[in-house]
């Protein structure tokens, strides 16, 4: 980004590239976790969103420039994490009358996400003190 608020071609290219990398990594992590865990609960999405919360908080705690923060946070982590899939999976659990699993998905995701974000910030602060 420039001082005038215009977005450069390099930033657009970075968003496309890092967004693609983030979405591919999300797919790989989700599949790897889902293959190893029970199918009654969306563990893959949980792993992606919790690790994404930690990563975004970590990046937010670093002294990144505007363009680096935009690319890392919005493009990479934004493509990596998935609020919409989390909501759809929760809604489907409810449709399947797995109400405890649906509520558990919300509670566990928010609780672990908050803890992961705190851990990410803590790690960034430690690096900043080094």
Specify binding-site residues: 78, 81
Of residues 127, 119, 18, 11, the one with CA closest to residue 62 = 127
Task: For 39, list phi and psi in degrees, rounded to 5.
Answer: -85, -10
Q: Which residues are annotated as a binding site for Na(+)?
A: 78, 81
What whole-number distance in Å separates Cα of residue 52 and Cα of residue 60? 12
Class of residue 35 by CB neighbours under 10 A (exposed 0-12, middle 13-18, buried 19+) = exposed
Q: With contact defined as beta carbons under 8 Å apart, do 58 and 121 qualify?
A: yes
């Amino acid at each position: 980004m420039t001082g005038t608020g215009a977005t450069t071609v390099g930033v657009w290219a970075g968003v496309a590239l890092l967004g693609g990398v983030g979405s591919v990594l999300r797919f790989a992590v989700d599949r790897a976790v889902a293959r190893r865990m029970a199918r009654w609960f969306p563990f893959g999405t949980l792993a992606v969103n919790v690790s994404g919360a930690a990563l975004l908080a970590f990046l937010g705690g670093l002294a990144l420039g505007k363009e680096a923060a935009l690319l890392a946070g919005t493009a990479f982590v934004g493509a990596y994490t998935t609020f919409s899939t989390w909501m759809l999976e929760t809604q489907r659990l409810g449709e399947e009358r797995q109400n405890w699993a649906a509520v558990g998905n919300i509670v566990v995701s928010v609780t672990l996400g908050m803890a992961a974000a705190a851990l990410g910030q803590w790690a960034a602060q430690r690096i900043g003190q080094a």
